[in-house]
Amino acid sequence: MGADLHRRRRCDRAGHRRRGADAAGLLVSEFKETDVAAAGFRVPLAWTTIFILEAASAVIGWRATSGGASVLLVASYIINGLLNIFWSFLFFKQHRPDWGLLEVPFLWLSILAMIIVLYVNAGWAWIFLAPYLLWVSIAAYLNYTIVKLNGPFGNRV
């Protein structure tokens, strides 16, 4: 933390706007968080596991479906992927956890849609998506607490 604080002070003294700062001047890493917030290596490890399980469920689902069911399966995965990327864009790139929180229900429902499509067409393969749904549920709570502890966001007058 000391080196990071020194770097930020040096940039501030030089008159540079800190990269990654939102309109309120907070870096995403400077948001106040709850004690529940996942730290360090846990986030990439969780996402790696989730993506491996998601890919496995997609392969099982693809092999178990044909025709219109295959199109529905692929569409549900594409929509989920786009919503996942969009949440990351809102939260990390736009520094708007409040907008990200508004997007979370759509992401959650897209996971539920994948689970339903798999349940109907590929039996037990939906179980591989349960950790993803749980992770997004926990992330939604963390997103909510970040908004509550740090809002309002956007331009302040």
**How far is Cα 18 from Cα 40, in angstroms, rounded to an integer?**
22
At a CB cut-off of 8 Å and minimum separation 6, what does 15 contact?
A: none
Nearest to 54, CA basis, from 126, 4, 116, 109 = 126
Mean pLDDT for 88-101 is: 94
How many residues in total does the chain contain? 157
* pLDDT beyond 60 at 19: no
Which amino acid makes up residue 3? A
Q: 103-138 pLDDT, tens per residue?
A: 999 999 999 999 999 999 999 999 999 999 999 999
The residue among 131 and 33 whose pLDDT is bigger is 131
Q: Which of 8-22, 72-86, 113-127, 132-146 has the lowest mean pLDDT?
A: 8-22
Q: 100-112 pLDDT, tens per residue?
A: 999 999 999 999 9
**How far is Cα 37 from Cα 142, in angstroms, rounded to an integer?**
7
Whether 84 contacts 50, CB under 8 Å: no
Percent of the chain residues topping a pLDDT of 70: 72
- pTM summary value: 0.75
Mean pLDDT for 84-111 is: 96
Residue 44 pLDDT level (bands cut at 50, 70, 90): confident
Angle at the Cα of 124 from the Cα atoms of 118 and 126, rounded to 5 degrees: 45
At a CB cut-off of 8 Å and minimum separation 6, what does 132 contact?
A: 50, 53, 54, 111
